[in-house]
């Protein structure tokens, strides 16, 4: 197939890891006979330096014309001045908004070879394979907010709002993903207390009943979910929830595998390109040293192929090679536990060679 893929390397280790992702995409194109047109565009701190704007218009135009976007990371101490006119992170928020990316996908998968580094016991955590869908553009983070006078001084408020349509579209995406996985969907809410959650549950129940009757479906209250995630993470397949609950639960879940450096994420809209990135930041403390772990970014390219281009075999090929690489004992510094390690580029070589 022909596809137009945009790379947004960003700041810090971003360029070092995205170039490894690019090599993997090129290897996949060669192996499976695809033609990927890949172009790079500025975002974040470097774009502020060069163009005075963390998201220059040509970057937006290129993203909108693409099928999928691979992002490194943005930000760093150089741009941390709170009095600055703009910040690198603004570029990221703006591109998500421009592309209407309302669903954040975060797979939480454990790697058997690394799971002893998990704060949770091996018997509980090994074999965990969860795909979170967090609603990204609604809920309490985007509701009306403000302060007003109060007898004790003042009071502050944030409104949590979800519409039928907002719940439907994210539940539908999550349910579709569950059909291609183990066929189980868990919707997380707080319907015993929140009216917003009662609507969420009503809509989720209906969408699943009418459109996905074949799925195993359950609803779980968010407080109970926090417990279950730690005590029986293996019981979950696809989990869908609102913006704030998803924010908190996915951060908690990201500790389960024992290695933050291996987790990718995706942000999707209804149509148009998806945005794929590692969950870690720009790691300015190790930038330019060729020691960053590129595997989260490489796993993000697998998500890109699966979710934006529909190339499941190609995605699986990358995931299998990453698993084999870890099994063979190849480690970057962050996961070497003080032992021998390979560089960023060497890890890229190891993965690319197996795709050859
Ligand atoms: P954010 O920028 O999202 O706010 P942060 O600044 O809290 O995140 P990161 O930039 O992810 O955090 O870095 C946290 C720590 O993890 C740093 O010590 C960094 O060097 C390390 N780290 C992050 N990503 C990687 C990676 N791909 N390989 C190796 N180490 C990493
Ligand atoms: Mg950072």
Predicted complex ipTM? 0.94
266-276: average pLDDT: 96
Arithmetic mean of pLDDT over the chain: 97
pLDDT, one tens digit per residue, over 276-313 is: 999 999 999 999 999 999 999 999 999 999 999 999 99
284 annotated ligand-binding residue: yes
Per-residue pLDDT at 70: 98
356: confidence class by pLDDT, cuts 50, 70, 90: confident
Question: Which residue, by CA, sits nearest to atom 13 of ligand 1?
Answer: 283
pLDDT above 90 for 121: yes
81-97: average pLDDT: 92
pLDDT above 90 for 26: yes
80: confidence class by pLDDT, cuts 50, 70, 90: very high
- Catalogue all structural domains in the chain, each as residue range(s) with its CATH number: 1-108+263-356 (3.40.718.10), 129-255 (3.40.718.10)
277 annotated ligand-binding residue: no
Cα-Cα-Cα-Cα dihedral of 28, 303, 169, 253, to 10°? 170
320 is catalytic: no
Per-residue pLDDT at 258: 87
330: confidence class by pLDDT, cuts 50, 70, 90: very high
Per-residue pLDDT at 218: 98
The CA-based angle 309-19-13, given to 5 degrees, is: 115
Task: Give helix 295-307 / helix 312-327 axis angle, nearest 10°.
Answer: 160
37 annotated ligand-binding residue: no
Q: Residue 58: in which H helix or E strand, if any?
A: helix 57-64
Per-residue pLDDT at 232: 98
Question: Which residue, by CA, sits nearest to atom 29 of ligand 1?
Answer: 292
50, 251, 313, 320: which one is catalytic? 251
Per-residue pLDDT at 31: 97
49, 64, 141, 176: which one is catalytic? 141
Top-confidence residue, 323 or 261: 323
Range from 6-20, 76-90, 216-230, 293-307 carrying the lowest mean pLDDT: 76-90
- The pair of three-digit structure tokens given for residue 54, joined into one six-digit string: 């963390």
pLDDT above 90 for 267: yes
**Contacts (Cβ under 8 Å, ≥6 apart) of 13:** 72, 73, 282, 283, 286, 287, 292, 344
């Amino acid at each position: 197939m022909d596809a137009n893929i945009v790379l947004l390397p960003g700041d810090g280790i971003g360029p070092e890891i995205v170039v490894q992702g690019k090599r993997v995409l090129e290897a996949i194109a060669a192996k499976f006979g695809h033609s990927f047109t890949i172009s790079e565009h500025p975002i974040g701190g470097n774009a502020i330096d060069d163009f005075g704007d963390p998201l220059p218009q040509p970057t937006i135009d290129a993203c909108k014309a693409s099928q999928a976007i691979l992002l490194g990371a943005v930000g760093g101490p150089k741009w941390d001045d709170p009095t600055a006119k703009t910040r690198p992170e603004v570029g990221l928020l703006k591109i998500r908004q421009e592309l209407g990316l309302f669903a954040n996908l975060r797979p939480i998968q454990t790697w058997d070879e690394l799971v002893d580094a998990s704060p949770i016991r091996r018997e509980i955590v090994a074999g965990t394979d969860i795909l979170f869908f967090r609603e990204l553009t609604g809920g309490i983070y985007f509701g009306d907010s403000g302060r007003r006078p109060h007898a004790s001084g003042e009071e502050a408020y944030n409104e949590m709002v979800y519409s039928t349509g907002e719940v439907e579209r994210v539940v539908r995406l999550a349910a579709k993903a569950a059909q291609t996985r183990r066929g189980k969907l868990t919707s997380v809410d707080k319907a015993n207390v929140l009216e917003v959650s009662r609507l969420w549950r009503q809509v989720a129940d209906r969408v699943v009943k009418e459109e996905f009757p074949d799925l195993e479906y359950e609803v779980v209250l968010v407080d109970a979910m926090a417990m279950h995630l730690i005590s029986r993470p293996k019981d979950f397949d696809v989990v869908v929830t609102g913006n704030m609950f998803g924010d908190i639960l996915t951060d908690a879940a990201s500790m389960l595998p024992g290695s933050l450096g291996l987790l990718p994420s995706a942000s999707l809209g209804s149509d148009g390109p998806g945005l794929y990135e590692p969950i870690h930041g720009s790691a300015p403390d190790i930038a330019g040293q060729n020691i960053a772990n590129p595997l989260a970014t490489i796993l993000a390219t697998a998500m890109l192929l699966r979710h934006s281009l529909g190339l499941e075999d190609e995605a699986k090929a990358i995931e299998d090679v990453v698993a084999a690489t870890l099994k063979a004992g190849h480690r970057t510094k962050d996961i070497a536990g003080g032992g021998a390690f390979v560089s960023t580029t060497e890890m890229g070589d190891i993965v690319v060679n197996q795709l050859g």
